[in-house]
Structure 1
Amino acid sequence: MRSVLRRTRRALLALVGSAALALAGAVALPGTAAAANILSNPGFETGGLSPWSCTGNLGSIVSSPVHGGSKALAGAVSSSDNAQCGQTVPVQPNTAYTLSGWVRGSYVYLGVDGGASTWTSSPSAYSQLSVSFTTGASQTSATIYVHGWYAQGTYYADDISLDGPGGGGGGSDTQAPTAPGNLTSTGKTSTSVSLSWSASSDNVGVTAYDVYSGANRVLSVSGTTATVSGLSPSTSYTFTVKARDAAGNVSGASNAVTVTTAANSGGGTTGFKQAAPYLYLGWGDPPNAASVMSSTGIKWYTLAFMLDSGGCNPAWDSSRPLTGGTDQSVINQIRSAGGDVVPSFGGWSGSKLGANCSSASALAGALQKVINAYGLKAIDMDIENSDEFENEAVQAKILTALKTVKANNPGLKTIVTFGTSTTGPTYYGNRLIEQAQSLNADIDVFTIMPFDFGGGSDMYGNTVNAAEGLKTKLKSTFGWDDATAYAHIGISGMNGLSDQQENTTPATWTKIRDWSNSHHIARLAYWAVNRDRPCAGGGVVSNCSGIDQSTWQFTSITAGFTG
């Protein structure tokens, strides 16, 4: 939360140096590379990855930021996968080559498998990397790669070039691999299908497998498993797989397998609904939570804020103990009255776990401490300001940690909360959603904060427009239909006057609540119960709304949210 109303690397392992490519048995001087790029799709302008393949299916094509043209590669690094993307090409033996490319991100590597590599630490814009190597006396193929570093966030690569003569000549490989066998589906959701198959054989070696949906190649991978995402619910798809070698020879197709995706089976489509206004126990004359529940019918509170007390250790507001203090006492009262809480991690200011924990695994450990302390059903990551929201590496760290704790706590719901424009997510909001998809983070609710965005007088219209913009982004990113996208949306408003003097009246909030119910979104919240008291002309303060209203009126309206 912002201003008065919203208070509130890792050390890298020793880096592996470049190693010279083995030239055992070489007796002739290396040839000279011709000035020609022998890589395919070097600038990713086809809009697809092929023939590049990426570990963990973590590579994607983006339109921003790019170095040249209109497309670039994005590698969504996780805490356990450096998102290595590679391409194998035929080369000539005992020949000098130069590999170069433009990269952007924290600790990005460019190299040749089994040989030379180079890296850059953390450019703020695209930086060119270059390395030379010489092939072995009998070498006929080389695998070029680019990758990031664990838990250091998404990297970008563009305009990669391998200058030198291509493989070929009288001894070029013309034999295609055998067709992959035993293609089968190993799992599905409403938007994805997982596949596996038996390996092909080749006289030189298989370098990639191309997955087809009908006649369209949708994915290229180096192993014998793949997950095809971005599909539509309750839809039938037929898949085949073909093998490819370094010379570009392609096998026949595998057996076909037909799979129908599930009906709205993912994430927040499981009936999760939450009316949970924020309550801040360290600010703004906090009211008695149980009394407000009795007066309004509200059942859930979003408790703010869980921060870092130092060393990636969670504490309420950085200073109040995780357990045994006022916050635990209030949580016990809420639960005794038949309600529950969702802690909110982060906010606009303060020392945040997402920014300060050294890695995704360390952050997941901090989240787990809070989950264990209170037996939580849901957690909210309020991702704001330049240290978290406008830092793509920290975004990825947070999403990876949420993926980890969700996997380790069956049934836990994960919520991310972030700012918006009047028409939908901003650049960093879009990046957050795209990274969630790339990481398969399985976020249940994407909650926008439609205020302090210069929204003017029509807070209902601008809130609805922002939510519709979020729906459109979720549909395009995840391949969801309208109903599935709405079921992953949350709205977190501000009652009364905002920092920018936007006025959300009780009548406006009622309209927003009714729209939310009619579109069956997942979550409705507002900042904050501390301010749900009248003070017409009181301005922007912590313990009242600045407008004429009834006490606890916004909370009563929110309690009517059913989704």
Structure 2
Amino acid sequence: MRDTLRRPRRGLLALLGSAALAFAGAIALPGTAEAANILTNAGFESGGLSPWTCTGNLGSVVSSPVHGGSKALAGAVTSSDNAQCSQTVPVQPGTTYKLSGWVRGSYVYLGVDGGASTWTTSPSAYSQLSVSFTTGASQTSATIYVHGWYAQGTYYADDISLDGPGGGGGGGDTQAPTAPTGLTSTGKSSSSVSLKWNASTDNVGVTAYDVYSGSAQVLSVPGTSATVGGLSAGTNYTFTVKARDAAGNVSGASNSVSVTTDTGGGGGGGGFKQAAPYLYEGWGDPPSPSTVMSATGVKWFTMAFVLDSGGCNPAWDGSRPLTGGADQSAINQIRSAGGDVVPSFGGWQGSKLGANCSSASALAGALQKVIDAYGLKAIDMDIENTDEFENEAVQAKILTALKTVKAGNPGLRTIVTFGTSTTGPTYYGNRLIEQAQSLNANIDVFTIMPFDFGGGSDMYGNTVNAAEGLKAKLKSTFGWDDATAYSHIGISGMNGLSDQQENTTPAIWTQIRDWANSHHIARLAFWSVNRDRPCPGGGVVSNCSGISQNNWQFTSITAGFTG
């Protein structure tokens, strides 16, 4: 069925591409004007996007892979957005221009708005695209674009050139927008700062706002709010914002605002720290949360699982009501005892919102329903199996939705949880982290599940090795130091026997907890409180650990996690 659905789309792509090329070839072209690249930041060597703007805020500047220089454009295509990046420049009427650029990816397009375009598919190497067009008799500006194709993965573009004479003297727009006002911070974490400001005015219209940290542009957004991620803990940053119009005119800077990010270490800092074992009301003789809290001192629980009840509508297990049922009763009990919860979306099986919601915006809407229902401080996306973890487009959809709800809910913490190898993230985990960076998703915690990975008998050593591998990947992807990378790590183990008969004993879990504290990671969890009861020789079952232990012993150990 999947191949059947894909073939018509690819056939349509080929048809559109041929038509575009035929159109370009059919134009009777006068002599090309003197060649001079009139695009700004054509090779993205500034390290920022300006004056390019990208739909869905899906464009970013990357250091690899590049065609020339040290930077290139990455467009993180989703199933609902082709990540089009464009730049408008002044041109002369009745003049022929040559547009060219180097692109890499599956179905990448280069063209001019309302005119000629061309495309190629070269997923593993850069190839050059080139097309010519002639401006209209009274045309004074042209919008150049590059984009990928829906659900076809991230594309890259570099060294884009528009050769021809620049506009001027023709009455083009030369008036800059007014400077944004009222810049203020609306929230912060150890790795991010959320900002908002008042809209600028312009004689034609503002198309984007460029956010600066010091002198470096860090974001370009279409609206009047943004969250800057990838920051260092306990560090002071000064931000300003400039407005930009379609002709590339840039306003003066807004007022500046200085913000110090929360500290990333343990022991009373403002960084995010969470000891939150999983509690599941859908199976495994769910215990009374208040009884467990009283016996162990644990305060947080990860509530499993929010799924799709049909039509991108969230429900517990996809069948129990979002509010008014057993899950809300448990949450009320936890909060009455001074604790709180982080719902987990997804898991290994069931009908998942990430896979079934039609777009990132639809998924963000479903997440928002749960956030609003419980006034949440954090959410966890448990990304597993082929439908979410191994599907690149769904990974991007989930990350984009998390970015959206984080921007709309200042202070909300976002967690992604996924499987691992004994040495760190797998191919799919690495891709998830890379997409998070490319999308500027500003994820607070990357949580690995170090079990069911064929880990053998040394569950402490393999868990630590997996976490160190994750730390190394976060450092290389985000440019963080050791302390910052550790402060974005979570570990979610499996108490007692795993499905593959790996045995994490209370003594081993204590070692893991102590390692987590000494390295000041962000989160410690395990699957699950329902299983945190003894049944030596009982095997892998829903309501006990399969080993000898005390009631709630793993929860008690986890409650000692402070980061």
- Asked if Structure 1 and Structure 2 have the same fold, meaning a TM-score greater than 0.5 normalized by the shorter chain, the answer is yes
Q: Give secondary structure in 2 for the equivalent of 1:524.
A: strand
Whether the aligned pair in 1 keeps the contact of 2:36 and 2:165 (CA below 8 Å) is no
- CA distance 1:193–1:368, shift in 2 (3 Å): closer
Q: What is the rounded CA distance, in whole Å, between the counterparts of 2:286 and 2:536 in structure 1? A: 19
Q: Is the 8 A contact 1:275 1:558 kept in 2?
A: yes
Q: Where in structure 1 are there 5+ consecutive unaligned residues?
A: 1-8, 21-27, 202-206
Aligned to 1:545: 545
Inter-partner Cα distance in structure 1 for 2:539 and 2:122? 44
Range with bigger deviation, 278-287 or 469-478: 469-478
Q: Residue type matched to 2:504 in 1?
A: T
Partner of 1:234: 235
Matches within 5 A, 1:102-501: 102=103, 104=105, 109-117=109-117, 132-136=132-136, 142-147=142-147, 155-158=154-157, 166-167=164-165, 186=183, 232=232, 234=235, 262-264=260-262, 270-501=270-501
**Could you tell which deviates more after superposition, 404-413 or 59-68?**
59-68
After superposition, the Cα gap between the structure-2 partners of 1:195 and 1:90, relative to the gap in structure 1 and judged at 3 Å, is: same
My pick for the range that moved more, 301-310 or 541-550, is: 541-550
With over 3 angstroms needed to count, the CA separation of the structure-2 counterparts of 1:555 and 1:411, relative to structure 1, is: same
Higher RCO by CA contacts (8 Å cutoff, separation 6 or greater): 1
SS in 2 for 1:74: strand
Aligned length: 530
- Under a length normalisation based on structure 1, what TM-score does the superposition of the two structures give? 0.72
Normalised by the size of structure 2, how large is the TM-score?
A: 0.72
The one-letter amino acid of 1:157's match is Y
**Aligned match of 1:94:** 95
Could you tell me which residue of structure 2 aligns to residue 533 of structure 1? 533
Distance 1:124 1:354, change over 3 A: farther
Change (3 A) 1:405 1:158: closer
Look up the SS of the partner of 2:307 in the other structure.
strand
Whether the 8 Å CA contact 1:452–1:499 is kept in 2: the answer is yes
Q: Structure 1 residues 357, 63: CA separation in 2 closer, same or farther (over 3 Å shift)?
A: same
1:382–1:416: 8 Å Cα contact kept in structure 2? yes
Deviations 1:482-515 (A, max 9, x none): 4444333221111122233332121110011112
Cross-structure match for 2:3: none
2:495 and 2:544 mapped to 1: Cα distance?
9
Deviation at 1:75, TM superposition (A): 1.9
**Match of 2:491, SS?**
strand
Distance 1:153 1:440, change over 3 A: farther
Q: CA separation of 1:454/1:134 partners in 2, compared to 1, >3 Å: closer, same or farther? A: farther
Cα-to-partner distance string for 1:440-464 (whole Å, 9 max, x where unaligned): 4443322221222333333222322
State which drifts further: 313-322 or 254-263.
254-263
SS for the counterpart of 2:396 is helix
Q: Structure 1 residues 506 and 49 mapped into 2: Cα distance closer, same or farther (>3 Å)? A: same
CA–CA distance in structure 2, aligned partners of residues 38 and 462 of structure 1: 54
**Cα RMSD (Å) of the superposition?**
5.4
- Quick check: 1:280–1:530 contact (8 Å CA) kept in 2? yes
2: CA distance between counterparts of 1:332 and 1:507?
32
Task: For residue 476 of structure 1, report the CA deviation from its aligned partner.
Answer: 4.7
Report if the CA contact (8 A) 2:48-2:218 is conserved.
Answer: yes
- The more displaced of 379-388 and 396-405 is 396-405
Distance 1:153-1:381 versus aligned 2 partners, 3 A rule: farther
Identify which range, 359-368 or 508-517, moves more after superposition.
359-368
The residue aligned with 2:510 is 510
Change (3 A) 1:29 1:364: closer
Deviates more, 1:276-285 or 1:287-296: 287-296
Letter in 2 for 1:95: T
Identity %: 71
Change (3 A) 1:398 1:217: closer
SS in 1 for 2:511: helix
| One-letter amino acid of the structure 2 residue matched with residue 415 of structure 1 | I
Contact 1:153 1:397 in 2 (8 A): no
Q: Deviations over 1:383-411 (max 9, x none)?
A: 11222222333223223323333344444
SS in 1 for 2:329: helix
Task: Report which stretch shifted further, 447-456 or 427-436.
Answer: 427-436
Q: Could you give the per-residue CA deviations for residues 285-335 of structure 1, whole angstroms, max 9, x where no partner exists?
A: 433433333333333221211111111111221222223333333334434
SS of residue in 2 equivalent to 1:470? helix
Write out per-residue CA displacement over residues 393-441 of structure 1, whole angstroms, 9 at most, x where no aligned residue: 3223223323333344444332221222333333433343344344444
Paired letter, 2:466: A
Superimposed CA distance per residue, residues 350-382 of structure 1 (whole angstroms, 9 cap, x where no aligned partner): 110111111222222222322333343332111
Cα distance in 2 for partners of 1:69, 1:422 equals 37
CA contact (8 A) 1:532 1:552 kept: yes
Determine the C-alpha separation between the residues in 1 that align with 2:231 and 2:433: 17
Q: What is the DSSP-based 3-state SS (H/G/I as helix, E as strand, rest coil) of the residue aligned with 1:358?
A: coil
Quick one: structure 1 residues 383 and 240, their matched pair in 2 at CA, closer, same or farther if it must change by over 3 Å?
closer
Instruction: Give the direction of change, closer, same or farther, for the CA distance of 1:306–1:287 in structure 2 (3 Å limit).
Output: same
Report the secondary structure of 2:358's partner residue: coil
Q: Does the 8 Å CA contact 2:494/2:504 hold for their aligned counterparts?
A: yes
What is the aligned partner in structure 2 of residue 204 from structure 1? none
How far apart, in 2, do the equivalents of 1:494 and 1:145 lie? 49
Task: Give per-residue Cα distances to partners, 1:114-139, cap 9 Å, x unaligned.
Answer: 4334679x998889877553334577
SS at match of 1:423: coil
| Whole-angstrom distance in 2 between the partners of 1:331 and 1:343 | 10
Letter of the 1:562 partner, please give it.
T
- The 2-side partners of 1:223 and 1:408 are apart by 15
- Matching residue of 1:6: none
Q: Over residues 51-74 of structure 1, what are the superposed CA-to-partner deviations in whole Å (9 max), with x where a residue is unaligned? A: 873347642244777899997532
Q: Distance in 2 between matches of 1:209 and 1:561?
A: 41
Moved more, 335-344 or 490-499: 335-344
Structure 2 CA distance for partners of 1:66 and 1:442, relative to 1, 3 Å: closer
Find the residue that maps to 1:457 and give its secondary structure: coil
In the alignment, what sits opposite 1:23? none
* CA–CA distance in structure 1, aligned partners of residues 152 and 144 of structure 2: 21
Counterpart Cα distance in 2 of 1:485 and 1:118:
42
